[in-house]
Amino acid sequence: MAVRIEPITDHELYEVNGKEIYREGENWIARVELSTQEKNAFSNYRKAVIENANFKRHTKATYNG
């Protein structure tokens, strides 16, 4: 199953397979529970893109697994 991640508002709001996940302080909170695969994909995206100072604008991403 592929996991699709789309930025809505950089550093604040994203969609993971159509489920919203937002930042509250240092924590990321999903409005609907994410599957283990979705959690892992977002964690990878967060480390590679969101926390990477070299990215000025965040891109859509698809993780296959």
pLDDT of residue 34: 97
Q: pLDDT tens digits, residue range 5-63?
A: 999 998 899 999 999 999 999 999 999 999 999 999 999 999 998 998 887 777 777 77
CA–CA distance from 29 to each of 1, 16, 58 (Å)? 22, 12, 19
Domain map (residue ranges) of the chain = 2-59
State both tokens at 49. Answer: 């893109």
User: Is 47 in contact with 55 (CB distance < 8 Å)?
Assistant: no
